[in-house]
Amino acid sequence: MPILTSVKKLKPGMVLDQNVVNGVTVLLKYGITLTPEHIDSLLGKIPNKKVRIVDSALDEIVTFQDDSRDQDISQIIRSEAAKLFTRTSRMVRPGMPLYSKDCAPVLKGVYQLIDTMGSCPVKAALIDEGADLAEHTANVFYLCVAIGYSLRNYMRNERHRLSYANYIKNAMDLKPLATAAMFHDIGLVPIWPQINKPEKLTREEIRLIRQHPKTSADMLPDTIHPLTRQAVLMHHENHDSSGYPQRMEKNKINVLAKVIRVADAFSAAITSRSYRPAKTPIEALYEMAYGKCRQYYDTKILRILSTIIQPIPIGAKLKLKSGLYAVVTKHTYKEPFNPEIVIAFDKEGNPLPTARITGPFPLQTLKRTGVESFDGKDISYINGISKFMIPKTSDIEINHKYREILDLVYP
């Protein structure tokens, strides 16, 4: 049985239930028994993270969904995507387009990754922080392809509606989307060190950032698919016409750009920056659906994201309003805030006697009590949200208590 344990609470002798990763890098493999040296190393690299630890006592009583395959596939795809991006970024010369023959191996790699993901469908698309541009791109790439596979029918209809279908031999082809995801921020490469700083951005830096969709699109080689170039150019356009660089109306935004917009915002939100902390996936998803920027996103695409990311991880120890603790045993497809739980710990967090363990049942069946917090952070705002519904404006006021979450936005 895996229990998510914060790195600061690890003790020698504990056994890892899951690979420990930092971005796209595996730090320690599952099955390892932790030594003081391992723990020191993790404290140095990822002091604020949680890792999954085997809890053999409860393992015999409770069955957990095994998502190790989902984790592994995500890791493989994202680390390969990060390598492809790094390879591309070495070819970047400010103000110069990339050459198509130089990009050919990158495109080949992109197509292979699409095929790999097609042949290994995942139940949950699990990602980690995207601290540098390569890791961020890898996250966006992975989420876009995962959304793409879930959304092919919708995208086909949109393409026909916007009469782009004649560009496409196979309207279900994910190559233009995946390629656009790979290159979407390529124009940020020359300015990335300059814009990631604790100090306020200068006017010139803001101008350069707002220019990057165009810079990226202009850098693409001549032979790139027209839809790819368009998606890169439009990836910061918003559904409410507040985006950049062109403040486009939603009906004119390329659907591939809308997919990148959603994946990009989620990856950015869960990543810490020098000027703000990372949000948890629960906060990020809640904010994207209920926060003041919810009008930025295509509702359909956001809903697809919500079905595949599983924001409350297996092994999470949740504090309930009753004071008892429950552990997440299974993801519930299409209901991101309603995982299956088992109530297995008393009010002090110690294991309950076997006879008093209850569950598994979906979290949202605890109608009267509900959940209070996860890892000391209030998450009671998810009580009552089982099916993921994007609310009407009037519903938002109910959640005003959580303004500090809803206002932390990534533009």
Task: List residues near Fe ion by CB under 5 A.
Answer: 185, 264
Q: What is the nearest approach in angstroms of Fe ion to the Cβ of residue 377?
A: 26
How far, in Å, CA of 409 to CA of 127, rounded? 19
DSSP category for residue 73: H
Output 188 or 363, the one with its CB closest to Fe ion: 188
Q: Nearest distance from residue 140's CB to Fe ion, in Å? A: 6
For residue 358, the minimal CB distance to Fe ion (Å) is 43
d(CA 282, CA 280): 5
Q: CB neighbours of 181 closer than 8 A, spacing ≥ 6?
A: 137, 140, 141, 144, 145, 260, 263
CB of 136 to Fe ion, least distance (A): 6
Distance CA 189, CA 299 (A): 30
**Residue number, 30 or 266, with CB nearest to Fe ion:** 266
Cβ closest to Fe ion, residue 135 vs residue 287: 135
DSSP per-residue string spanning 225-239: -HHHHHHHHTTT--T
Contacts of 234 (CB under 8 A, 6+ apart): 213, 243, 246, 248, 253, 254, 257
Show the tokens assigned to 312: 């409350």
Q: How far is the CB of 85 from Fe ion (least distance, A)?
A: 11
Which of residues 261 and 317 has its CB atom nearest to Fe ion in the complex? Answer: 261
Q: Which is nearer to Fe ion, 264 or 287 (CB)?
A: 264
The token pair at 131 is 């601290």
For 298, other C-beta atoms within 10 Å of its C-beta total 21
| Closest to 125 measured CA to CA, from 228, 325, 287, 259 | 259
Nearest distance from C-beta of residue 238 to Fe ion, angstroms:
13
Burial (Cβ within 10 Å: 0-12, 13-18, ≥19) of residue 64: buried
Q: Give the nearer residue to Fe ion in terms of CB position, either 205 or 375.
A: 205
Instruction: Find the shortest distance in angstroms from Cβ 410 to Fe ion.
Output: 10
User: 54 vs 181, which CB is nearer to Fe ion?
Assistant: 181
